[in-house]
Amino acid sequence: MHPHDPEDAGHLPASPSGRVPQWVLQEAAGVTAPPEPWRGAVAPPRRRRGLWSGLLVAAAVAGAVALVDPSELPWAQRLPQASPGLPASSEPARPTDRPTPSGLLVPLGPPPLPPPVGGTHGFTTFQDDGVTPVAYDPCRTIHYVLRPDATPPGGEQLVHDAVLRIADVTGLVFTFDGYTDEPLTTERAVYQPERYGDQWAPVLIGWQTEAENPALVGDVVGEAGSVAVSLGEGPRVFVSGTVSLDSVQFPEILGGRDGAAVARGIVLHELGHLVGLAHVDDDAELMYPEARRAVTDFSAGDLTGLAALGAGPCVPEL
Please give the residue ranges that form the binding site for Zn ion (CB under 5 A).
Answer: 57-58
Cβ atoms 307, 281 nearer than 8 A: no
Minimum Å distance from CB 215 to Zn ion?
11
- Report d(CA 56, CA 43) in Å as an integer: 8
| CB closer to Zn ion, 220 vs 311 | 220
CA 127 to chain centre: 17
* Minimum CB–partner distance for residue 174 and Zn ion (Å): 20
- Which H or E run includes 246? strand 237-246
Run of H or E residues at 286: none
Please answer whether residues 285 and 120 qualify as being in contact, where contact means their C-beta atoms are separated by less than 8 angstroms.
yes
Of 243 and 318, nearer to Zn ion (C-beta) is 243
Q: In the complex with Zn ion, which residue's Cβ is closer, 182 or 290?
A: 290
**Amino acid present at 158:** L
Residues with Cβ within 8 Å of 158's Cβ and at least 6 positions away in sequence, in order, are 260, 263, 264, 267
Minimal distance, residue 260 CB to Zn ion, in Å: 20
Q: What minimum distance in Å lies between the beta carbon of 101 and Zn ion?
A: 32
Residue least distant from Zn ion (Cβ): 58
Is the Cβ of residue 268 or residue 314 nearer to Zn ion in the bound state?
Answer: 268
* Integer Cα distance of 211 and 188 in angstroms: 18
Q: What is the dihedral of CA 257, 259, 260, 265, to 10 degrees?
A: 120
Between 25 and 104, CB nearer to Zn ion: 25
CB of 309 to Zn ion, least distance (A): 15
